[in-house]
Structure 1
């Protein structure tokens, strides 16, 4: 009998809850840390980036208008599905990042736990950063957090899953929608995460994932007038590129989470900074007794 041939996978983008091919028709080979072929991934274009922004904008009213409790339940369901595909995530993280099995397992477990952690903050963040303000008059005065809107996220290039979760989950926890560019060399965990999102309760368009060279889509996301904020985590170590993206983002006064000088230790406790970075504060006055 002849030896069975393996089925070589060609993955697509994740936009609006669907898996379209790149508008450009391009794809590229993904290899492991030892340069062995793993799969083909779609190479996103600026048109794909625009389509992803449109999908995120369309999904924003429903996601931001859902109760914080409901968003927490939806995000927790994502963690449940991730747990069910833990073995696949471990294989992909180990192959892409060149980690031992035990280190890859630790990274995947931390990513799942972090998703649960952010899911738990959805209905608590308002109590921490909101307030009831004292006023000299017969009024109630409340300051409450609200989502910023559509957030472009440049995912870390080295930490293909834990870093990805660490920058995407807080955006969603705050009620925003996201357009995410994955790691170029290590996109498989992001692709698997998109499959998890598609089979969980996350509405289509809340998260959109683009694979390919970050430089092909990031400038268009930074300059897009319908993107309200951008996280430049994936530009770590490239100060010139980050400066260009910040300049483009300034055209419509986007909120910008600036890139660190080097990729941080994603194993460290995350804190609330990445949630609050994409929240606006609304202050409401209301007469007492009405």
Structure 2
């Protein structure tokens, strides 16, 4: 309460982001989010298995429209998101700094995350040149390969980089036409939940990105076993959890990107950009 005005502070109510909307968890549960000193910051929604299934439905519904958009249009939309992140830079710096970083280091992390979003946006209409092409064949045929998105990707956000790491796993998946269901970093979900507010007010269609907060293992299990999830990015899973999730994912042959030590501030390369792509090859007879 302010001593001068006598007014009470208005605390923010964080919500999930599913299908372009902001529902509370269907269970009504929340959990406390604290800073590096143990001070209460907010109550985050504790998403349930039902929330995870609802997010998959939303992602599948959005897939046809998003994957069918032109690469140029997807790049424009991602760039627009970067513009809006720049406008809310101070808010993200404060949320990242709450994890125990100095203001200077938090600012560097946020700036790197915005720059990375722009970097991935630029790949939208270029990735086909490095992942596809004309293949030499013995015969009077054109043989052309082109990349296509895998489908719905379940992403476990990194636990050690709540914003830069988060951007580094979401952007490469969606820029190529996939839709995603993201389990935010369990102990630091606020940057992900704030990112949802940016996505909702950008040109990104609802359902392309769906963000859940809660217990990573609790959310990961139904996503790994879900028959309508096509791929898993296990960046935020420990080795034991990753092994269990890979076993569950094998039932419908999901593509799985296992967790590994990553320096999120380094050049990301094209690894994640190409991981969730399939290659379609077309044969066509040459004209006489």
TM over 0.5: yes
Q: Distance in 2 between matches of 1:42 and 1:9?
A: 12
CA distances 1:5-29 after superposition (whole Å, capped 9, x unpaired): 2122221100000000101110111
**Aligned counterpart in structure 1 of residue 81 of structure 2, from 78, 81, 87:** 78
Does the alignment pair 1:90 with 2:93? yes
Aligned match of 1:280: 278
* Aligned alpha-carbon RMSD (Å): 1.1
Runs of 5+ in structure 1 lacking a partner?
none
Q: Distance in 1 between matches of 2:42 and 2:252?
A: 38
Provide TM-score, normalisation by structure 2.
Answer: 0.97
Q: Distance in 2 between matches of 1:131 and 1:192?
A: 39
Contact 1:10-1:42 at 8 Å conserved across structures: no
Query: Deviation at 1:171?
Result: 0.2
Deviates more, 1:1-10 or 1:205-214: 1-10
Q: Secondary structure at the match of 2:47?
A: coil
Aligned match of 2:67: 64
Aligned match of 1:201: 203
Q: Distance in 2 between matches of 1:71 and 1:121?
A: 10
Q: Distance in 1 between matches of 2:68 and 2:47?
A: 30
Query: Deviation at 1:2?
Result: 6.6
Q: Secondary structure at the match of 2:236?
A: helix
**Aligned counterpart in structure 1 of residue 269 of structure 2, from 258, 262, 271:** 271
Q: Distance in 1 between matches of 2:13 and 2:46?
A: 11
Query: Deviation at 1:34?
Result: 1.1
Q: Distance in 1 between matches of 2:15 and 2:30?
A: 9
Query: Deviation at 1:239?
Result: 1.5
Q: Secondary structure at the match of 1:202?
A: coil
Aligned match of 1:192: 194
Contact 1:13-1:210 at 8 Å conserved across structures: yes
**Aligned counterpart in structure 1 of residue 163 of structure 2, from 139, 161, 165:** 161
Deviates more, 1:204-213 or 1:24-33: 24-33
CA distances 1:123-162 after superposition (whole Å, capped 9, x unpaired): 0000011010112222211011000000000001120100
Q: Distance in 1 between matches of 2:85 and 2:151?
A: 26
Contact 1:181-1:214 at 8 Å conserved across structures: yes
Does the alignment pair 1:115 with 2:117? yes
Does the alignment pair 1:13 with 2:16? yes
Query: Deviation at 1:105?
Result: 0.4
Q: Distance in 2 between matches of 1:239 and 1:74?
A: 35
Provide TM-score, normalisation by structure 1.
Answer: 0.96
Aligned match of 1:218: 220
Q: Distance in 2 between matches of 1:199 and 1:154?
A: 24
